[in-house]
Structure 1
C-alpha cells in the first residue's frame, strides 16, 4: 500500500516577526501569505505580504480567506487567536522561546516543519559563529559593565531571558539576572525604582516595547542622577525590533548593538 506522506506547508501565516524573518533568511519567503502588522524585518516583507494581525488580535476572516495550511504564533498571549483558528480547522503551531537556546530550537523546528532542515541548520551555524565572534571580542575587555535593560517604563520591567543572555555574551552583566528567567512581563516588574539606583548600572539600555524610548524622562526620575550610567551619559536605546524579537534579529543586530555600546563604555572608562 502506498502511503501519502503529505506535503510540507506552502501557505504560511506568521503572526509575529521572528518566524517571518527566519523564512526570509533561508529563502523560503514565498511560502508566507500573511504577516503581523508589527513586522519591520525584513523591510520587504511589509511591502510584499498582507498584514493580517497585530499581536493580541487578528483579522480571522482575512486569515481564513488566505487558506493557510499553517499559522505560526508566539506565546500564551496569542492563545485566543489560535483557538479561533483551530476551531475553524486551520493547522497552527505556537512557539514559546524565551532564551537563546530556545531561539535556536525555534529555528530548528521551523526548518523541520517545512522540510528545509538543511537550510535552517546552515542559518544556525551562521548565527552561532556570529555569537562566538562577539563572545571572543567581549573576552578582551578589561572590565565587564553592569547593564540595566528596561523593557517598559510604567511599571519598570527588566529584560527577558534572551536579552539577559545576550548582554552577558556581549561583555556585560545584567543588573537583574534573577528576573530574567521569568517568562511573563509582570514577573519582571521592578516595584522599587530606587533598586535600580542601588544596583548602580554603568550602562542603561531602553527598549520600550512598541514605543520610542525617552532617555530624558528616565534621567528625570528621583535619585537616578546618582546612577553611573546617567552621570557618564551611557543611556541608550535599542529598537524593539532588533532586540525584543526572539529570532535572528536579536542574535545579530541586537547583540551587536549591545556589544558596541559596551565597547564604547570601555573606551570612555579607560
Structure 2
C-alpha cells in the first residue's frame, strides 16, 4: 500500500515557482491548478488546469477543484487570497524578494508536503553551485580581471531595473548592478528610471533585458537616443534572459537564471576585464 505523505493533497499554485518546485520534488500529483503563465516545467501546461493570471484568478474554477491549499505570491495577490479565504480555503502567500527568502520559501513548501529532507538536499545542491560560481568569479578577480557594471532591465517603457533577488544573483554571477539602490524596492513602480540618460550616465558594460514575457529587442536598446556611447552598446554587450528563467523567485532563478548571467559576465571578464 502506497504511503500518503502528510500535508495538503490538492494544491493550486497561483504562480509558477511553487509549481516547478513541487514537480522537482516529485509531488506533481498534488497540483490541481496552475497559473496561466506557467512554462516550467513545460508538461505542467498540458497536465493541469490554468486558473489564474497574476493579478486575477478564476475563483469559481479554483473552488471547483476543491483545493486544500492555495499557494500565492506577494501583496499583489492579496485580493485573490482574501476571496479564497472568505470561501473557506487555506491560503499560503509567500513574499520572497531575496535569495535567502527564496530558499526559505522552498524549504517551507517542501516541509508542508512531507519532503523536508529532499527539499534540504536540493537546496544544499543549489547553494553549493552558487558558492562554486562565487569561487570562479573570485579566481578571475585574483588575476586582475574587473567586474563589469551591469544594467538589468525588467521593462523598457518605462525603464524598470532589476528586483532584489536578480541584483543579488547578478552579484554572485560576477556583475555589479548599476542601480543597487533601486533593487531593494519590492514594487516595480518604485524601480522606474524616468530619465533614460541616468542609465547612460552610469555607463553599464553589459545590459541584460528580461521584459516580463515580451521579447527583448537589442536593436531597439542600441538605437535609444544618447545611448551610442554606452559601453554595452559600443561593445555589443546586449543580452536577453527569458523572464521565466530569472523573474520567477524560485528554482529557475537560482539555477538557469544565475547560470546564464554568469556565462555572460564571465565572457566579458575574460575578454574585457
> Residue 198 of structure 1 is aligned with which of 197, 201, 206?
201
Q: CA deviation at 1:266?
A: 2.0
Residues 152-191 of structure 1 mapped to structure 2, 5 A cutoff: 152-191=155-194
Corresponding residue SS for 1:93: strand
Does residue 57 of structure 1 match 2:60?
Answer: no
Asked if 2 retains the 8 angstrom alpha-carbon contact of 1:36 and 1:55, the reply is yes
> Residue 226 of structure 2 is aligned with which of 220, 223, 228?
223
Does residue 94 of structure 1 match 2:97?
Answer: no
Corresponding residue SS for 2:256: helix
Normalising by structure 1, we get a TM-score of 0.96
Q: CA deviation at 1:115?
A: 2.3
Q: How many pairs does the alignment contain?
A: 265
Asked if 1 retains the 8 angstrom alpha-carbon contact of 2:70 and 2:92, the reply is yes
Does residue 134 of structure 1 match 2:137?
Answer: no
Q: CA deviation at 1:268?
A: 2.6
d(CA) in 2 for partners of 1:242 and 1:115?
27
Q: CA deviation at 1:203?
A: 0.4
Does residue 9 of structure 1 match 2:15?
Answer: no
Asked if 2 retains the 8 angstrom alpha-carbon contact of 1:11 and 1:31, the reply is yes
Asked if 1 retains the 8 angstrom alpha-carbon contact of 2:6 and 2:112, the reply is no
Q: CA deviation at 1:254?
A: 0.2
Asked if 1 retains the 8 angstrom alpha-carbon contact of 2:148 and 2:175, the reply is yes
Unaligned runs of 5+ in 2: none
Asked if 1 retains the 8 angstrom alpha-carbon contact of 2:25 and 2:110, the reply is no
Unaligned runs of 5+ in 1: 1-5
d(CA) in 2 for partners of 1:98 and 1:246?
7
Provide the residue aligned with 1:3 in structure 2. none
Q: Which runs of 4+ in 1 moved over 2 A?
A: none
Provide the residue aligned with 1:82 in structure 2. 81
Provide the residue aligned with 1:19 in structure 2. 18
Provide the residue aligned with 1:245 in structure 2. 248
Asked if 2 retains the 8 angstrom alpha-carbon contact of 1:25 and 1:123, the reply is no
Asked if 1 retains the 8 angstrom alpha-carbon contact of 2:207 and 2:239, the reply is yes
d(CA) in 1 for partners of 2:115 and 2:228?
52
> Residue 233 of structure 1 is aligned with which of 220, 233, 236?
236
Q: CA deviation at 1:7?
A: 5.0
